[in-house]
Structure 1
């Protein structure tokens, strides 16, 4: 359920100017929309506060976010829940000090992902490989292929059922467009996760999650400098949400404050 950074184009620009520097960009996001509990079918307006950071260092990059979710309904789902993901990478090109160019692929990286949820006591490891692509008009386009290794404690410790291991394929992107005084960003990702079997022998269905964000740089319109305050929407399409038969289509309000 990876998120993206609507102001990441500023970070990318800095990285291009200072390729050896350690650069990080942190943002706070607020989302609000009517999300579905896939286990009960109930739909509740849910607030999500996200702390997010994208960074690059000498041998790779890092992306993480932490969500704080609350839907106001004490049903065991999104009840003051905390969910986070972290994706550090090591660039093969930077590690070997060689230029990797395979057609439109500009670099290959080793990725080590971590997903954790406090409400369900879930912990997943995602080791794998990333291909970074040269796509005209985009700051970045990455494709990630990773394993999905379950390290959760399971129902015996009050958490969600453990599952068999699987795989994840994810594509994530970012671009911006507009005029000298008006800037829009288009960021997002789409992931496919293979089916699994839980500790009771039941199938956890494969799922597809698509989360594009369209943002407007409000701070640029106000003070001419920009890259501070963004407003927009995030569309979420989730087929077989969390491995159930529920499909979710929802548009959420999005406000971003970028440091």
Structure 2
């Protein structure tokens, strides 16, 4: 029998709470504040190039049984997007099943197997759509044996929204996402290649009755360790370039203006 959405949401919330409490004794942690800027952002149903200033806070940490990742973006658009302000939160917790079971689960190119769960949350105050996204995610992860890290996850997405004009929260069909996330140092050059790739299946009808389309979103970053060069400590200050390609943004088909984003950005981070 299918599990009602409320029950799934409650179960995932309980798991996340237990995961967060278990992570207080971190073996390692990294915090960063960052800024990025681009002039070619796109928003569905808007045919104009949009400029955005983005401030972010990122936390990542590892403990005996897994890792945590938290990112909070504060996005500020120009007048072409109603001078809108948006907050977007992403949290992922990956449990290392080998560490939990005490068994070596490495095979082939994978050094381990995990279970990833988490959530996305946003709010935006533009004059048209005004997104209020809520999304729970859960699924298996392969942790690949590379310098730095490369995680490959297949996640089930439980997404809902309540934009302007919708009287109650609307839940999309449960749909899968293939996610790659990586951070790979380029030898001893001081440069690092980082980013993520999401392939997200169509999620049924949207809240207005229209069809949705599969999304492809890749965000790549080439970052330089400027902190070492300035005597501030390794990777304490990082500067680089970022590029995002997002097709069928938010599940909007290609016939919708603004559903394709090709966005170069400059990015700077301070780690502590």
TM-score range relative to shorter protein: 0.7 to 0.9
Map 1:19-38 to 2 at 5 A: 22-34=27-39, 35-38=41-44
Contact 1:122 1:160 in 2 (8 A): no
Question: How far apart, CA to CA, are the structure 1 residues paired with 2:119 and 2:26?
Answer: 25
- Kindly indicate whether residue 126 of structure 2 is the aligned counterpart of residue 115 of structure 1: no
Please give the root-mean-square deviation of Cα atoms over the aligned residues, in Å: 2.1
- Deviation per CA, 1:158-202: give whole Å up to 9, x if none: 7885422211101111111254xx511111111100012213321
Aligned residues: 235
Is the counterpart of residue 213 in structure 1 residue 224 in structure 2? no
Within 1, Cα distance between the matches of 2:260 and 2:242? 16
CA–CA distance in structure 1, aligned partners of residues 28 and 89 of structure 2: 21
Distance in 2 of aligned mates of 1:237 and 1:191: 11
Counterpart mapping for 1:237-252 below 5 A: 237-244=245-252, 245=254, 246-252=259-265
8 Å contact kept, 1:64–1:86: yes
The more displaced of 153-162 and 212-221 is 153-162
- Residue 78 of structure 2 corresponds to 72
Residue in structure 1 matched with residue 149 of structure 2 by the alignment = 140
Match for 1:174 among 179, 183, 197?
183
Partners of 1:66 and 1:223 in 2: how far apart?
Answer: 28
Q: 1:187 aligns with which of 188, 194, 201?
A: 194
Structure 1: how far apart are the matches of 2:106 and 2:250? 37
Q: Deviations over 1:117-141 (max 9, x none)?
A: 1121110011111111113xx2111
Q: Distance in 1 between matches of 2:122 and 2:47?
A: 21
**Residue aligned with 1:145, SS:** strand
**Which one of 189, 199, 207 corresponds to residue 199 of structure 1?**
207
Alpha-carbon contact 2:48-2:80 (below 8 Å) kept: no
Q: Which runs of 5+ in 2 are unaligned?
A: 1-24, 125-130
Cross-structure match for 2:268: 255
Structure-1 separation of matches of 2:145 and 2:153: 15
Residue 40 of structure 1 corresponds to which residue in structure 2?
Answer: 46
Rounded Cα–Cα distance in structure 2 between residues aligned with 1:159 and 1:83: 21
Write the distance in 2 (CA, Å) between the matches of 1:250 and 1:155: 27
TM-score, with structure 2 as normaliser: 0.80
> What is the SS of the residue equivalent to 2:99?
helix
Q: What is the match of residue 232 of structure 1? A: 240
Where 2:100 maps in the other structure, the secondary structure is helix
The DSSP-based 3-state class of the residue aligned with 2:94 is: strand
Distance 1:232 1:159, change over 3 A: farther
Post-superposition shift, 1:226? 2.5
Q: Indicate conservation of the 8 Å contact 1:68/1:80, yes or no.
A: yes
Offset, 1:152: 3.5
